[in-house]
Chain A
Amino acid sequence: MAAATSRYVELAKQLHPRLQRFFAKYPPTQILPKTTAENTIKDGATANPFLPHKHPVTGRWQDPEFSLRRQAELVKLARSAGVEELMPFTHKGTEERIRKRVEEGLQVKGTGVGQKVKGHLHERMLATKMEKRRTAMLGMPRLVREWRKTGTRGWKKFPR
């Protein structure tokens, strides 16, 4: 047991100093993973430093401990060290980002799951236009034959 603990300590010492400081201040076990959902601290629990929370006494909203930029930096460091699951919930986390990407797609409207890009009118009508052209070309030999038979003098069917 002690050996395992000391090995973990050794491993922790190899982390980036910023991560070391972060984990020293916010040990993973002490942060309630979903304090965050209610955003109110109860019974002296440590608030998620990555999310805003309501002060239990004043009821005022407190800003997160870390700005979104610093959250992203920490997440990147943690990911490269392979300890991202020890971080508290953050909107900059990989899972959250993937989830959002699946939900919303790219920033371009319509690229998410089950969505369609609207496109310009000419793009939406492209299939119809090509189909019309195709049927016209299929009927062309017959039309030309008819036209040859009637001749230009007797021809009555002119397009609008």
Chain B
Amino acid sequence: MAKKPKARMINVRLLSMAMTGFFYSFTRPRVARPMSMLKYDPIVRKKVLFLEQKRKGK
């Protein structure tokens, strides 16, 4: 049986760089570059850098 094709869109997790463990989840095309953005971290109550976490099972 043919293998199931990989999905075009993937769910990614953007982790707070304030080391609070807080994260946002986004959906992006698989072929796009990894995401990074400045966003609000409610634990430190500031805008901090969020970087995409490396995906597991690869």
Contact = CB atoms under 8 A, between A and B. Distances in A.
B19 A158 contact: no
Given A133-B18, A155-B34, A155-B36, A160 B54 contact: yes
A149 to B, nearest CB: 13
B37 interface: yes
Given A140-B48, A147-B49, A159-B53, A152 B38 contact: no
Given A137-B44, A152-B33, A158 B52 contact: yes
A68 interface: no
Contact of B49 (A132, A133, A140, A160): A140
A157 B46 CA distance: 22
A159 B15 contact: yes
Interface of A: 132-133, 136-137, 140, 143-144, 147, 152-153, 155, 157-160
